[in-house]
Amino acid sequence: MCGIVGYIGHRDAYPVVVKGLKRLEYRGYDSAGVAVINEDKLKTYKKQGKVADLEEYVQGKQLESNIGMGHTRWATHGPPSDENAHPHASSNHKLAIIHNGIIENYDAIKKELTKKGHTFTSQTDTEVLIHFIEDIKLHENCSLEEAVRLALTQVVGAYAIVVMNEDEPNTLVAARKGSPLVIGVGKGEFFLASDATPIVEYTNEVVYLNDFEIAVIKDDKLSIRNTQDVPTNPYIQTLDMELEAIEKGGFEHFMLKEICEQPRSIADCMRGRLNAADGYLRLGGIREYAKKLENADRIIIIACGTSWHAGLVAEYMFEEFCRIPVEVEYASEFRYRNPVINEGDVVIAISQSGETADTLAAIELAKSKGAIIFGVCNVVGSSISRASHEGAYTHAGPEIGVASTKAFTAQLTVLSMMALRTAHNRGTISLSKYKELLVELENIPSKVEKALQLNDEIKVISEIFKDARNFLYLGRGFNFPVALEGALKLKEISYIHAEGYPAAEMKHGPIALIDEEMPVVVIATRDKSYEKIVSNIQEVRARKGRVIAVVTEGDDVIPEMAEFVIEVPAVNEVLMPLVSVVPLQLLSYHIAVMRGCNVDQPRNLAKSVTVE
CB 209 within 8 A of CB 382: no
In this prediction, what percent of the chain has a pLDDT beyond 70?
Answer: 97
In this prediction, what percent of the chain has a pLDDT beyond 90?
Answer: 72
pLDDT digits (tens, 9 = 90+) for 142-175: 999 999 999 999 999 889 999 999 999 999 999 9
Burial class (CB in 10 A: 0-12, 13-18, 19+), 119: exposed
Banded model confidence at residue 604, pLDDT cuts 50, 70, 90: confident
For the segment 368-390, the average pLDDT, to the nearest whole number, is: 90
CB 73 within 8 A of CB 24: no
User: Measured in whole angstroms, how far is the alpha carbon of residue 484 from the centre of its chain?
Assistant: 18
Instruction: State how far the Cα of 376 lies from the Cα of 444, in Å rounded to an integer.
Output: 20
pLDDT of 506 higher than 90 = no
Banded model confidence at residue 244, pLDDT cuts 50, 70, 90: low
pLDDT of 610 higher than 60 = no
pLDDT digits (tens, 9 = 90+) for 418-450: 999 999 999 999 999 999 999 999 999 999 999
Q: What pLDDT is stored for residue 376 in this prediction? A: 96
CB 562 within 8 A of CB 590: no
User: Measured in whole angstroms, how far is the alpha carbon of residue 360 from the centre of its chain?
Assistant: 13
For the segment 247-276, the average pLDDT, to the nearest whole number, is: 92
Among residues 53, 55, 65, 74, which one has the least CA distance to residue 3? Answer: 74
| Count of Cβ atoms closer than 10 Å to residue 253 Cβ | 19
Among residues 79, 76, 68, which one has the least CA distance to residue 9? Answer: 68
pLDDT of 337 higher than 60 = yes
Q: What pLDDT is stored for residue 609 in this prediction? A: 63
DSSP β-ladder status, 157-165 and 205-208 = unpaired
pLDDT digits (tens, 9 = 90+) for 47-104: 999 899 999 999 989 999 999 999 998 777 788 899 999 999 999 999 999 999 889 9
First-to-last C-alpha distance (Å) of the chain: 10
Measuring CA to CA, how many Å separate 490 from each of 90, 471, 588, 601, 609?
43, 9, 5, 14, 19
Q: How many CA atoms lie within 13 A of 292 on its CB side?
A: 19
pTM: 0.82
The residue annotated as part of the active site, out of 2, 260, 269, 377, is 2
**Extended strands (E) in 107-188:** 157-165, 171-177, 182-185
For the segment 250-271, the average pLDDT, to the nearest whole number, is: 94
pLDDT of 241 higher than 70 = no
Banded model confidence at residue 245, pLDDT cuts 50, 70, 90: low
Q: What pLDDT is stored for residue 29 in this prediction? A: 74
User: Measured in whole angstroms, how far is the alpha carbon of residue 351 from the centre of its chain?
Assistant: 6
Residues 6+ apart with CB under 8 A from 119: 91
Banded model confidence at residue 242, pLDDT cuts 50, 70, 90: low
Banded model confidence at residue 356, pLDDT cuts 50, 70, 90: confident
pLDDT digits (tens, 9 = 90+) for 518-546: 899 999 999 998 899 999 898 888 888 89
Residues 6+ apart with CB under 8 A from 282: 273, 421
pLDDT of 612 higher than 60 = no
Q: What pLDDT is stored for residue 591 in this prediction? A: 97
* 337-366 as b/e: b if 16+ CB within 10 A: eebebeeebbbbbbbbbbbbbbbbbbbebb
| Count of Cβ atoms closer than 10 Å to residue 41 Cβ | 12
For the segment 113-142, the average pLDDT, to the nearest whole number, is: 94
- Structural domains in the chain? 3-244 (3.60.20.10), 248-442 (3.40.50.10490), 450-602 (3.40.50.10490)
The residue annotated as part of the active site, out of 22, 46, 257, 607, is 607
Q: Which is it for the CA torsion 121, 124, 125, 130, positive or negative? A: negative
Cα 332-358-309 angle, rounded to 5 deg: 65
In sequence order, the β-bridge partners of residue 519 are 546
- Active-site annotation holds for 607: yes
Instruction: State how far the Cα of 80 lies from the Cα of 30, in Å rounded to an integer.
Output: 6
Mean pLDDT of the chain: 92
Q: Which amino acid is at 472?
A: L
pLDDT of 264 higher than 90 = yes
- Active-site annotation holds for 269: no
Q: What pLDDT is stored for residue 545 in this prediction? A: 85
Among residues 239, 244, 224, 99, which one has the least CA distance to residue 160? Answer: 99
The three-state secondary structure class of 164 is strand
